[in-house]
Amino acid sequence: MSGPLRPRFWEDTPLTRMTRPEWEALCDGCGKCCMNKLEDEDTGEVVLTRVACRLFDDTTCRCAQYPIRHQFVPECIVLKPTNMDANLYWMPETCAYKLLWQGKKLYDWHPLISGDPQSVHDAGVSMQSRTIPEFEVDEDDWEDHIIEEPT
């Protein structure tokens, strides 16, 4: 990041006006967006699995190759204010980007509120130590790994 973040910037700055460091700081580090999801073709309902993207680090709950992830996972979505509407349906319910887009507040366990990046893990909201790498599970068996999203 380039310099300190403005105090409580997320409360008075629209997503469209945030600096790059502010936008990146919204990520709570839960790792849920890096889990493979299943979408019901009839209803459009999306469910979360514990089957992690091949680049997901189960210990840190971060992408192991974030700056160059598209070289390995071309379909990885770069979330930005201009594509939020198209992506809200699959984003985790606890995601700061989604919450702020919907005009809601961040949870107390969010690192921007708590001041501690460990708080998301301590709250039991993250995928830390709960995943299976996608290369270990056949895609036809992902249904066996559906989980309820922690809130």
Q: Which domain holds residue 84?
A: 15-145
In the structure encoding, which two tokens stand for residue 105, read together?
A: 């507040």
Task: State both tokens at 13.
Answer: 């700055």
Residue 51 resides in a domain:
yes
CA 55, 31, 131, 34 dihedral sign is negative
Which pLDDT value is given to residue 150?
57
**What pLDDT is attached to residue 44?**
87
Report, as ranges of residue numbers, the positions in the chain whose pLDDT lies below 70: 1-3, 150-151
User: Which residues are paired to 121 by β-bridges?
Assistant: none
Q: What is the total count of domains within the chain? A: 1
Query: What local confidence, expressed as pLDDT, does residue 55 receive?
Result: 96
Tally of residues, the chain: 151
pLDDT of residue 3: 58
User: Is 97 part of any domain?
Assistant: yes
pTM above 0.85, yes or no: yes
Within-domain flag for 133: yes
Residue 4, domain member (yes or no): no
SS (HEC) of the chain: CCCCCCCCHHHHCCHHHCCHHHHHHCCCCCCHHHEEEEECCCCCCEEEEEEECCCEECCCCEECCHHHHHHHCCCCCCCCHHHHHHHHHHCCCCCHHHHHHCCCCCCCCCHHHHCCCCHHHHCCCCCCCCCEEHHHCCHHHHHHHEECCCC
Q: Is residue 87 part of a domain?
A: yes
Is residue 10 assigned to a domain? no
